[in-house]
Amino acid sequence: PAPTPAPAPETKADKKIVLGFSQIGAESGWRDAETQSIKETFGNDAQFELKFSDAQQKQENQIKAIRSFIAQKVDVIALAPVVESGWEPVLEEAKAAKIPVFLLDRTVKVNDESLYTAFIGSDFILEGQNAAKTMIEQLGADKKVNIVELQGTVGASAANDRKKGFEEGIKSNPNYKIIKSQTGDFTRAKGKEVMEAFLKSDGKNIHAVYAHNDDMALGAIQAIEEYGLKPGKDIFIVSVDGVKAAFEAIKEGKLNVTVECNPLLGPQLKKAILDLKAGTQPPKWIKSEEGVFFGQKAIDALPTRKY
Ligand code: GYE
């Protein structure tokens, strides 16, 4: 009798690269754009299989997701860490399982840098500095400016460093003071709520808002309008991200400045994974190139904005 043929060996081309992505949640327009970029990039590429997990803003959910990715023996993990600290144990588990971890958009504080392969994202300190610099340029260095700050999620690198960069940027000018600062958790609803409270206690005294993201600024704009003042005119507003809704608000004269932060990180992550597979170590920090938008430049850019 003819021997039964051996099953065809699995060829290299059949074997997909399995990527587990632990996303923070869906708190902002920026994050939705990032999620879409990842889903598009990896969903449309037959070399990859994407396992997507939404942590609903909770670090414990992210840790669980990573443990589950390790148990499923994924080939690579991407993590957008909600906060900076507390990652060592789970990153050590991934390292022991020899699964490379890419940090996406926010970074972590760890003693051992070898616990992750690379960070793909922005320079948040620079963003904060640019927000301060543009505010001073637009309002004038000699003017007395009381600023209220809407901070991002407590403990997030994007919040800590945007705060630090902005403080550095106004430090040399005693006219510029942060009179109130509170977290709005990177959401429109909380940004509005916190701004309402600021206006209630200090309304006439507030000259400017610095919001760590556009969504909170958009919430603050609503609060300022409901309070009976004109956002963008009576109160100067600068925020970070550069989502389309921010450009629209600039066009309407309600937002003054948006400092760009690129969420379209899918292609960069894919390149880094493929480089690593091919034996090339990606740079430890894959930085995004970003601009600052206000006035006519923002209005002109609106039709071509991708997120
Ligand atoms: O600015 C904000 C989001 O981590 C860079 O998170 C990201 C920030 C972004 O919710 O809108």
pLDDT surpasses 70 at 56:
yes
**One-letter amino acid of 5:** P
- Give me the pLDDT at residue 6, please: 65
pLDDT per residue as tens digits for the range 132-179:
999 999 999 999 999 999 999 999 999 999 999 999 999 999 999 999
Ligand 1 environment, Cβ below 6 A? 27-28, 30-31, 105-106, 158, 186, 213, 215, 240-241, 261
Q: Closest by alpha carbon to 32, among 51, 54, 60?
A: 54
pLDDT surpasses 90 at 4:
no
- Give me the pLDDT at residue 251, please: 98
End-to-end CA distance of the chain: 64
Which pLDDT band holds residue 12 (cuts at 50, 70, 90)?
low
Q: DSSP assignment of 106-158, as one string? A: S----S-GGGSSEEEE--HHHHHHHHHHHHHHHH-TTS-EEEEEEE-STT-HH
pLDDT surpasses 70 at 13:
no
- Give me the pLDDT at residue 122, please: 97
* Ligand 1 atom with minimal separation from the 124 CA: 5
pLDDT per residue as tens digits for the range 218-260:
999 999 999 999 999 999 999 999 999 999 999 999 999 999 9
Q: What is the mean pLDDT of residues 196-207?
A: 95
Distance from the alpha carbon of residue 300 to the mean position of ligand 1, in angstroms = 24
pLDDT surpasses 80 at 10:
no
Distance from the alpha carbon of residue 28 to the mean position of ligand 1, in angstroms = 7
Most ligand 1 atoms within 8 A of CB, residue of 120, 213, 216, 290 to mutate = 213
- Give me the pLDDT at residue 170, please: 98
DSSP state, residue 235:
B
Most ligand 1 atoms within 8 A of CB, residue of 22, 23, 28, 190 to mutate = 28
What would the two tokens of residue 162 be?
């945007």
Which is it for the CA torsion 261, 264, 270, 275, positive or negative? Answer: negative
User: How far is C-alpha 183 from the geometric centre of its chain's CA atoms?
Assistant: 15
- Give me the pLDDT at residue 81, please: 98
- Give me the pLDDT at residue 289, please: 85
Residues 6+ apart with CB under 8 A from 113: 284
Distance from the alpha carbon of residue 279 to the mean position of ligand 1, in angstroms = 31
Helix (H, G, I), strand (E, B) or coil at 207: coil
- Give me the pLDDT at residue 238, please: 98
Distance from the alpha carbon of residue 284 to the mean position of ligand 1, in angstroms = 20
Which pLDDT band holds residue 7 (cuts at 50, 70, 90)?
low
